[in-house]
Amino acid sequence: MTSVARDQWIYDWNQSEPASAPRQVRLYDETLRDGLQSPSVIDPPIETKIRLLHLMDQLGIHTADLGLPGAGPRAQSDVLHLVQEICSAGLKIQPNCAARTLETDIRPVVEIAQKTGRAVEVSTFIGSSPIRQYAEDWQLETLLKHTETAVRFAVGEGLPVMFVTEDTTRAAPATIEALYSAALACGARAVCVCDTVGHATPAGARRVVEFVRGVVERSGTGARIDWHGHRDRGLDIANTLAAIEGGAEQVHGTALGIGERVGNTPMDLILVNLKLLGWHQPELTRLREYCELAAEAVGIPIPPNYPVLGRDAFRTATGVHAAAIIKALDKRDLELADAVYSGVPAHLFGAEQRIEIGPMSGRSNVIFWLRRRGLQASPERVERIFAAAKAADRLLRDEEILELV
């Protein structure tokens, strides 16, 4: 089938008004810092963190938040080992550390950078919304003082600085402009817009990033704009894509969306969507390995219905669906089989379509299952398995089907 014909398989409403592709969407992985703030996770050993770091690098992720060294000796030791690994293994991924706008938090990052000889970007953060100011009895003057002191100290010690405002999506425009302008004037080279409690809608995410883009343009610094989202309303991926359209150049996520409360934007699903949009070039066949290692490391299993990586993502026993996939496979066309009943091409992510047998199945499911395993699909055998499937209240397990064979 020609490439022209392939384009005619699907009328893509997503491209009816194509958005202009960004220059480059950079990716910032928070798994080893913000992800570990989930109340349900285990903080994995350093050996596992190093394996995750290598997988991040292989997936084309640009920056990793390695931790908050100011949190204590273990955090500081782990970050030091991770930066040393980046240096010794020649990884491309850039190291980053979180810190409050306090010298006591930033100084450990300085020490790690000095010990390793590697520039470590520091993400120094402070609350910005009126509700947070009211709860903490903060005045804008206090926030500005902390911002200026922290950024000047970090820049003076040779650290590249990303200035982060927590709860940006509920902060007043004047406050946002004042804080970012102060940080940029003191030498910050990036600013991060945070949807800390998952408040934003896609329209809100786009608008706040566009506003911040105006602040950066007026500063004349050319600073990078980051987006950091949470998934409290389930709008995390939609908000991330809207933030990119609004001008965000680097977006944040964690493996499987782990993080505080219900979690952060899932890095794996950011990668999937950017790949399908043509905005991420590295191959993602090791995406499953990254997610499975993260799930095992932190003690949170991948749900069966999790997009792309869940057990059921490319698995069906429904007769009509299976029949279409089988007919596509009979044409010896993997792309067709991956698209006919799936919005995500399984082969791009190291997976394949799976046909199972259950009460919603047709005879074609049974025939396909048998032939895939080199077993004869005689009429008697097919009918015996088909009858058992129709009488069941769930999918038949492989061993049950083999007994019927």
pLDDT digits (tens, 9 = 90+) for 199-225: 999 999 999 999 999 999 999 999 999
Residues 6+ apart with CB under 8 A from 207: 246
Which among 240, 252, 231, 237 is positioned nearest to 98, based on CA atoms?
252
Q: What is the mean pLDDT of residues 312-329?
A: 88
Residue pLDDT, tens place only, 130-147? 999 999 999 999 999 999
pLDDT value at residue 19: 56
Beta-sheet pairing, 315-316 with 250-253:
unpaired
Q: What is the mean pLDDT of residues 342-365?
A: 90
Residue pLDDT, tens place only, 73-92? 999 999 999 999 999 999 99
381 pLDDT higher than 50: yes
Residue pLDDT, tens place only, 299-318? 999 999 999 999 999 998 88
**Structural domains of the chain ordered from first start:** 19-298 (3.20.20.70), 315-404 (no CATH)
337 pLDDT higher than 90: no
Q: What is the mean pLDDT of residues 110-125?
A: 98
pLDDT value at residue 117: 97
17 pLDDT higher than 70: no
Residues 6+ apart with CB under 8 A from 142: none
pLDDT value at residue 7: 64
Which among 193, 35, 66 is positioned nearest to 129, based on CA atoms?
193
Q: What is the mean pLDDT of residues 376-397?
A: 94
Using a pLDDT cut of 70, give the percent of the chain over it.
96
Q: How many CB atoms lie within 10 A of CB 322?
A: 25
- In angstroms, the Cα distances linking 300 to 259, 272, 292 are 11, 21, 10
Q: What is the DSSP letter of 19?
A: P
The answer to whether residues 307 and 313 touch, using CB atoms and an 8 Å cutoff, is yes
Tell me which H or E stretch contains 174.
Answer: helix 173-185
pLDDT value at residue 200: 97
Q: What is the pTM of this model?
A: 0.91
pLDDT value at residue 2: 40
Rounded Cα distance, 26 and 133, in Å: 31
Q: What is the DSSP letter of 372?
A: H
With bands split at pLDDT 50, 70 and 90, how would you rate the model's confidence at 379? very high
With bands split at pLDDT 50, 70 and 90, how would you rate the model's confidence at 4? very low
Torsion of CA 44, 48, 52, 58, to 10 degrees: 180
pLDDT value at residue 3: 40
Residue pLDDT, tens place only, 249-266? 999 999 999 999 999 999
Average pLDDT, the chain: 93
**183 vs 315 pLDDT, higher one:** 183
Q: What is the mean pLDDT of residues 332-361?
A: 88
- State both tokens at 209: 């990033």
Rounded Cα distance, 84 and 332, in Å: 48
pLDDT value at residue 12: 76
pLDDT value at residue 329: 83
Which among 19, 109, 12 is positioned nearest to 70, based on CA atoms?
109
Rounded Cα distance, 251 and 253, in Å: 7
65 pLDDT higher than 50: yes
The answer to whether residues 66 and 288 touch, using CB atoms and an 8 Å cutoff, is no
Residue pLDDT, tens place only, 18-62? 456 566 799 999 999 999 999 999 999 999 999 999 999 999 999
- State both tokens at 305: 């219905």
